[in-house]
Chains A and B, each alone.
Chain A
């Protein structure tokens, strides 16, 4: 992502200028660097191009969250959850994974690339911080470009 393209100050749903892909990230509050301070730092750094939503557990995420994000403002939506076996609610992350796969099938059936949705589980051995995840994801989405879904 070219930083010069990033416009500061934007949370309104209609913020897309149609050029920069917008990324919705739902992350489990328990991942490293998932605190409010880091969230604000990331938002000031990336401006309009990302929107971050902390959730109490990856398992809280419903297909509806992802579909609504793709429909209203996002070009891609990702879930970041705790490593396998480390979920506070035992299997929230496993369930979230299934839901994302189900939702990927839905968006494929309506002609969107399934790469626009994804779930990332942390690793116990090499934990990644939220800001690291966001950096990688934002590079990934810039390759995908703007989604057709948002223009529907």
Chain B
């Protein structure tokens, strides 16, 4: 058995004070000057070590307060309050919520799984992945001796085409070449987010992280070619229109093309320039995409990248989520009998570790992460960079080593969560998790099964 794949993490501090959900409002006016002030009784010493970050005008009491409410409750004149921080509430959008962003920061800083305490206070169901529950019937297994205990859970996945069957000669030799496969130890690849105040140093940090994690980073071809050959194994050049033939590069293991009008011309150029590479085709995740996939497969693209929107919906239908799109495409390929010849990778709006497991259950083999690796660098999803405004956390000033360590921490935390989910489901192979919809429940299906017939009205009749 190969040695266990473990991502070692260690705390990597923030460069800026993170925005906290709440702030302390402590009024001096009307203070009775009690002999023992409640502020001195704070067990965390929040008021004793108070200082101000002058870059952001952030008061340290907000970041250090543990929300025990002792000072709030015990001040006899009720001069201390806690209030929701407006800066926190305006972060991100309805998909990249302030809480999601804060959790990503925590994971990148500590490399640990965020734990929210006993019980789940959230809603029963929600849009997208939130309407999906996984079967945790074997929850006792990982807790027995931990996710890194005796049990071997493999998260390795293969990218490329697997032949339907093997053909042998009369002498027992293989009659055909086995197509190349790329193995990655985690079902998570990375790519550049669509916006962000990133520069060469940031990208270099992500390249270092991809190397360390032994996974792949998708980058525009012109950026990939700037990196030395030994790094190219971990890079996936993304090739667009206008790409010209170049001297063959045999180190690259995968290239990505875009499903546009020039795809068939680009495929030839890509094959010449990257002779050893598996070709992936990026499709927008929209209605009818499953009709075009066989064409790409026949042309020699066994890896299909389904790209959703950054808010987790499909490209043409805002009411459809990527989980629905992946399920639909996976099912269509199964029905055509070609699913095993194709590797499906999904991207777009994947914001939490659970989204990785859920995408795989819906039918993806692996996922590609973009914004989480930007948020790992303290990004607040304010999108000021898109408007040419300065980045409040100066991501473009960050050192590449720091970028790499924060990204590794995030991936480490997500890998551990994937192990937890798989362990609790009793699944020991990420490859076996693919398409296991029988091990999950979908709210919309349950609702239809339970209530579908109750409110059906015969045509021509009206409810009173």
Q: Mark A64-87, 1 if CB is under 8 A from B, else 0.
A: 110011011100000000000000
Instruction: From known contacts A29-B86, A36-B90, infer whether A95 and B27 are also in contact, taking CB-CB under 8 Å.
Output: yes
Chain B, interface SS category: loop
Instruction: From known contacts A56-B84, A56-B85, A64-B52, infer whether A9 and B389 are also in contact, taking CB-CB under 8 Å.
Output: yes
CB-nearest residue of chain B relative to A27? B86
Chain B 69-86 residues near chain A, CB threshold 8 A: 81, 83-86
Q: Does A118 contact B (CB under 8 A)?
A: no
Instruction: From known contacts A36-B90, A92-B25, infer whether A73 and B54 are also in contact, taking CB-CB under 8 Å.
Output: yes
Q: When the two chains form the complex, which single residue of B25, B52, B87 contacts A68, counting CB atoms closer than 8 Å?
A: B52
Q: Does A12 contact B (CB under 8 A)?
A: yes
Give CA–CA (A12, B55) in the complex, Å: 7
Q: Does B29 contact A (CB under 8 A)?
A: yes
CB pair B83–A60 under 8 Å, yes or no, is yes
Q: Does A140 contact B (CB under 8 A)?
A: no
Q: When the two chains form the complex, which single residue of A13, A40, A71, A89 contacts B389, counting CB atoms closer than 8 Å?
A: A40
Give CA–CA (A62, B87) in the complex, Å: 18
Give CA–CA (A34, B55) in the complex, Å: 21
Q: Does B247 contact A (CB under 8 A)?
A: no
Chain A 34-55 residues near chain B, CB threshold 8 A: 34-36, 40, 43-44, 53-55
Q: Does B34 contact A (CB under 8 A)?
A: no
CB pair A40–B29 under 8 Å, yes or no, is no
CB pair B83–A57 under 8 Å, yes or no, is yes
Give CA–CA (A35, B89) in the complex, Å: 11
Chain A interface residue count, Cβ-Cβ cutoff 8 angstroms: 35
Give CA–CA (A13, B54) in the complex, Å: 8
Q: Does B246 contact A (CB under 8 A)?
A: no
Q: Does A144 contact B (CB under 8 A)?
A: no
Instruction: From known contacts A12-B394, A35-B90, A68-B54, infer whether A56 and B389 are also in contact, taking CB-CB under 8 Å.
Output: no
CB-nearest residue of chain A relative to B55? A13
Q: Which residues on the B side are within 8 Å of A36 (C-beta)?
A: 90, 382
Leading 5 A-B pairs by shortest Cβ distance: A29-B86, A36-B90, A56-B83, A11-B390, A72-B54
Shortest distance between the CB of B346 and any CB in chain A (Å): 30
Q: Does A8 contact B (CB under 8 A)?
A: yes
Give CA–CA (A54, B83) in the complex, Å: 13
Q: Does B455 contact A (CB under 8 A)?
A: no
Instruction: From known contacts A68-B57, A73-B54, infer whether A95 and B29 are also in contact, taking CB-CB under 8 Å.
Output: yes
